[in-house]
A and B are shown apart, each in its own frame.
Chain A
């Protein structure tokens, strides 16, 4: 098949060449991401095909968001299967037309109870929730004041909103207070933060943020995707951990991490704010409803974690143990208390080389580098799961130490690693 117009042919060729060059630049800069193909359900142990065409290898997985180990739990799978049988495969509708089933409402009520809020609505993903919530609630007379390290989904959502945008230095409450003072002339103020920051694993100082917000008459918005289900003594999230249950105006979170790992997200919070999202949030109005199978699986997850804290307790123990192993071995870690444990390597190529060598040692991790993290902040982000047993972590630290010695990074800090490998 050919093109009739030489002008069109030339234009397409120019487009192709442009993007081929861009992709080549990424490869040369060491910034090209490759996917590996997994041949098993998600779990503490998986089989991975890499490179493409190679026989799948059995690996310990240290980089999933499967924090509670429920992504392939037989009861969750069985419940999802029952959901398919009882409520069908898809609704072929947005929520407000004919896309709301009784199980959607039931899941929203149960998420409201878990998060300690007044109401909840489901979205196809937390990315969609964050894309829609700011525009639905705020306008030109208002201001959004976000932590500088908020997740990309909030950055994108803020860009869609006409409210004034401002930012504060990461977790710097003095800087936040300056911004709140500066914006007292606005109609509404909203402070925006992650609960647990996805790249560093640190927690927002929600108790102090809430205190400031109350003093300066601001709403508080938290994306708690890396916390719902396991942070806090009963797994309600960062707000429980920080003693401010019931004082967060808007929480968004995902069903795609600890709460089953399939897909779906939600906006939860003050009744009026949630209702405004139901009426106005574009992803809610224009995107398909969450599939019944996902809802059924998520309902079972909430059942499983509602009656016992066993899984979140085990996750906490695994996190403490893994941090101790890495610290004693001499790795440079970001401090924190969440099950996100970044091993800092600073150099993008080094991060990829270490990840590749760990793969050969039977450990599945991925190097994180620009643009996912700032330049010069490359890392391997390890993540714990309640599905990990001590023997998994024991085997993993052996591999980490072997590779760490090969690259001479044990007992070294940023300055020494950057001196040797560059930034």
Chain B
């Protein structure tokens, strides 16, 4: 799980943190509610997770709550891979 969180965190920082933005993004930093990721730019995060982990994230699971932190994203990936989420 820690490896998973680290990979997702690295992607979020690279994809969303703009030059000159000195905010520290941690595993539980609010991404959506913190204004770092919005619904428009969220698509690339969803696509990254699906491609990287060979999963399909149903629209019903691609919620602001599930995408709000690196930790919640990692939990979502684990749940989908375990088969707990219907396709």
A residues 158-203 with Cβ under 8 Å of B?
A: 164-167, 169-170, 172
- In this assembly, does B19 line the interface, its C-beta being within 8 Å of a C-beta of chain A? yes
- In this assembly, does A148 line the interface, its C-beta being within 8 Å of a C-beta of chain B? yes
Q: Could you tell me if A172 and B35 are in contact, using CB atoms closer than 8 angstroms?
A: no
Q: Could you tell me if B40 and A166 are in contact, using CB atoms closer than 8 angstroms?
A: no
- In this assembly, does B60 line the interface, its C-beta being within 8 Å of a C-beta of chain A? no
Q: A170 and B18 in contact (CB under 8 A), knowing A374-B35, A375-B35, A376-B35?
A: yes
| 19 A-B residue pairs with CB within 8 Å | A146-B40, A148-B38, A148-B41, A155-B40, A166-B43, A166-B44, A167-B40, A167-B41, A167-B43, A167-B44, A169-B16, A169-B18, A169-B19, A170-B18, A172-B18, A172-B19, A374-B38, A375-B35, A376-B35
Task: Report the bound CA distance from A291 to B16 in whole Å.
Answer: 44
Contacts of A155 in B (CB 8 A): 40
Interface centre among A146, A169, A374, A375 (most CB of B within 10 A): A169
Name B's interface SS.
loop
Task: Report the bound CA distance from A166 to B44 in whole Å.
Answer: 6
Number of chain A interface residues as a range: 10 to 19
Number of chain B interface residues as a range: 10 to 19
Closest to B40 in A: A155
CB within 8 Å: A-B pair count: 24
Q: Could you tell me if A148 and B43 are in contact, using CB atoms closer than 8 angstroms?
A: no
Contacts of A170 in B (CB 8 A): 18
A residues 128-175 with Cβ under 8 Å of B?
A: 146, 148, 155, 164-167, 169-170, 172
Task: Report the bound CA distance from A199 to B16 in whole Å.
Answer: 20
Task: Report the bound CA distance from A148 to B15 in whole Å.
Answer: 11
Taking the nearest CB of chain B, how far is it from the CB of A106, in angstroms?
A: 38
Contacts of B19 in A (CB 8 A): 169, 172
Task: Report the bound CA distance from A352 to B16 in whole Å.
Answer: 29
Interface string of B34-64 (1 = CB under 8 A from A): 0100101101100100000000000000000
Contacts of B35 in A (CB 8 A): 374-376
Taking the nearest CB of chain A, how far is it from the CB of B69, in angstroms?
A: 17
